């Protein structure tokens, strides 16, 4: 049967915050538009580009930096490698000079106020996150392309089939959790081993492991940076960063000068419940404060939920691995491969887009991914890992996405701490339980999540039209 082949590097993408669907996706759409311009002719022939933002991209686009992402994409900047400290100056130059260097090859007149249009009352039918590029050529001809940012940095061009990694036939095709369990039982392989066999269709195993470790390197760099950066987040809410002060309090009297010595200092601090809880919260806060400040993060599976998985993995390394044990890179790879597969099953069976499913599609999915990954490295069975994922999602069902001011700050940052704690709790429950007695399967909770998403009022789906977003109103023009 046909199946969607999703790689671990489709689920974990390096990019720039604050949102995978509203920042990274539109950025990638703009890069794809550049490719089309080159295929349709020559960049030198382009006279004008206008961008239309629809639905959720319009309603929360300014708070999520959608306009900024589109500008950077049209300039040909790479979200993986761009110097994040240069973003503000690049945007200021375009806004002040009203000139955009298209693809780094031709300067065109471009006034962001006029050439990026926020169509607040218009939504395209395929997906709430839609944007259209209108391209005018010097000879008077015009053409357009429409893209949909469907969550987690995945982008679909209108008229084309959804594409993630190149089309491949995997040895272990997986659409549902039952498929994954089937292959594990049939082969005797663990979840991460099944995933690794599938990844071999795209690249050698050594490259996959190196790539996964690079993902972790980006996660921990972001975490460490967030724990050592103070100040106020941009956007108009004036949210104070908290990870800096919490880290300073928890490491009082400790001396360190790198991530490695910081990790050792954390291990030496003890293992009390409150100490552990504070650190898990600190890890998650640090990453999502960086995300809110246009820092470099990893979609896991989205930017808005970027803090959950690394916080739980860091918890494992700091609390569960022994005071002086060296970091076990194999367990890091196993954790992330397992987590990625759970995320891909959610994407296939429901959604990872908050504009489609509310925050259950972001924090809920990330919590389920983290719970399964933690259970795997803690020695749990394949069924216990799936049970942990189910427990984590079951207790995020119905969570709305109602960001104040359209910013990925309140309640988004704190929700990452809650998702991380729930993941750890779900893993512990699964490790201390027998899946034989479980009443709800992971596939059933995914189906329930999707049905809940379909029933959810649109004002609770990343529109800032309901919930907390209207309790503390802030003009989107301030964001």
Q: What is the pLDDT of residue 472?
A: 80
Answer yes or no: is pLDDT of 10 > 60: yes
Answer yes or no: is pLDDT of 1 > 80: no
* Backbone phi, psi, residue 34, to 5°: -60, -45
Q: What is the pLDDT of residue 168?
A: 86
Tell me the pLDDT band of 326, cut-offs 50, 70 and 90. Answer: confident
Answer yes or no: is pLDDT of 188 > 90: yes
Answer yes or no: is pLDDT of 478 > 90: no
Tell me the pLDDT band of 479, cut-offs 50, 70 and 90. Answer: very low
User: Residues 318, 107: contact at Cβ < 8 Å?
Assistant: no
Can you give the pTM of this predicted structure?
A: 0.93
Q: Which of 64-68, 220-224, 325-329, 409-413 is predicted least confidently?
A: 325-329
Q: Residue 303: which of 81, 57, 21 has the closest Cα?
A: 21
pLDDT in tens, 136-177: 999 999 999 999 999 999 999 998 865 544 578 999 999 999
Query: What is the dihedral sign for C-alpha 319, 377, 280, 311?
Result: positive
Q: Which domains does the chain have, with CATH numbers?
A: 20-157 (3.30.1330.90), 177-471 (no CATH)
Percent of the chain surpassing pLDDT 90 = 90
Q: Give the whole-angstrom CA distance, residue 25 versus residue 462.
A: 15
Q: CA torsion, points 90, 91, 96, 97, in degrees to nearest 10?
A: 60
Mean pLDDT over all residues of the chain?
94
Q: Give the whole-angstrom CA distance, residue 370 versus residue 252.
A: 29
| Distance, CA of 454 to chain centre | 21
User: Residues 73, 26: contact at Cβ < 8 Å?
Assistant: yes
pLDDT in tens, 354-375: 999 999 999 999 999 999 999 9
| Mean local confidence (pLDDT), 13-36 | 95
């Amino acid at each position: 049967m046909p199946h969607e082949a999703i790689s671990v590097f489709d689920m974990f993408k390096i990019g720039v915050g604050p949102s995978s669907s509203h920042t990274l996706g539109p950025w990638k759409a703009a890069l794809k538009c550049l490719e089309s311009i080159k295929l349709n002719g020559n960049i030198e022939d382009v006279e004008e580009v206008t961008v239309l933002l629809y639905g959720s991209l319009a309603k929360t686009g300014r708070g999520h930096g959608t306009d900024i992402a589109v500008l950077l994409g049209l300039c040909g900047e790479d979200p993986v490698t761009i110097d994040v400290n240069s973003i503000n100056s690049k945007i200021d130059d375009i806004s002040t000079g009203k000139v955009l260097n298209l693809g780094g090859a031709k300067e065109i007149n471009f006034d962001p106020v006029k050439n990026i249009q926020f169509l607040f009352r218009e939504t395209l039918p395929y997906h709430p996150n839609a944007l259209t590029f209108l391209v005018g050529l010097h000879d008077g001809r015009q053409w357009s392309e429409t893209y949909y940012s469907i969550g987690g940095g995945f982008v679909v061009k209108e008229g084309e089939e959804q594409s993630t990694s190149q089309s491949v036939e995997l040895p272990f095709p997986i659409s549902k959790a039952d498929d994954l369990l089937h292959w594990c039982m049939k082969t005797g392989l663990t979840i991460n081993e099944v995933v690794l066999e599938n990844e071999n269709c795209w690249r050698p195993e050594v490259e996959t492991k190196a790539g996964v470790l690079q993902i972790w390197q980006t996660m921990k760099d972001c975490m460490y940076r967030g724990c050592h950066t103070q100040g106020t987040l941009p956007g108009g809410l004036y949210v104070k960063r908290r990870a800096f002060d919490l880290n300073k309090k928890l490491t009082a009297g400790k001396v360190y000068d790198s991530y490695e010595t910081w990790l050792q200092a954390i291990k030496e601090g003890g293992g009390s419940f409150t100490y552990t809880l504070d650190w898990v919260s600190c890890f998650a806060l640090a990453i999502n404060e960086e995300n809110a400040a246009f820092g470099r993060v990893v979609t896991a599976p989205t930017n808005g939920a970027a803090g959950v998985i690394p916080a739980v993995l860091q918890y494992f390394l700091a609390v569960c691995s022994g005071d002086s044990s060296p970091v076990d890179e194999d367990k890091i790879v196993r954790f992330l491969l397992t987590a990625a597969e759970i995320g891909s099953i959610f994407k296939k069976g429901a959604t990872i887009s908050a504009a489609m499913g509310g925050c259950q599609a972001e924090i809920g999915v990330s919590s389920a991914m983290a719970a399964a990954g933690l259970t795997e490295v803690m020695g749990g069975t394949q069924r216990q890992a799936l049970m942990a994922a189910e427990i984590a999602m079951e207790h995020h069902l119905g969570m709305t996405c109602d960001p104040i001011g359209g910013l990925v700050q309140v309640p988004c940052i704190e929700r990452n701490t809650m998702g991380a704690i729930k993941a750890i709790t779900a893993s512990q429950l699964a490790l201390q339980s027998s899946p034989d007695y479980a009443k709800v399967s992971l596939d059933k909770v995914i189906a329930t999540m999707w049905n809940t998403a379909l029933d959810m009022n649109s004002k609770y789906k990343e529109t800032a039209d309901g919930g907390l977003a209207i309790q503390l109103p802030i003009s989107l023009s301030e964001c």
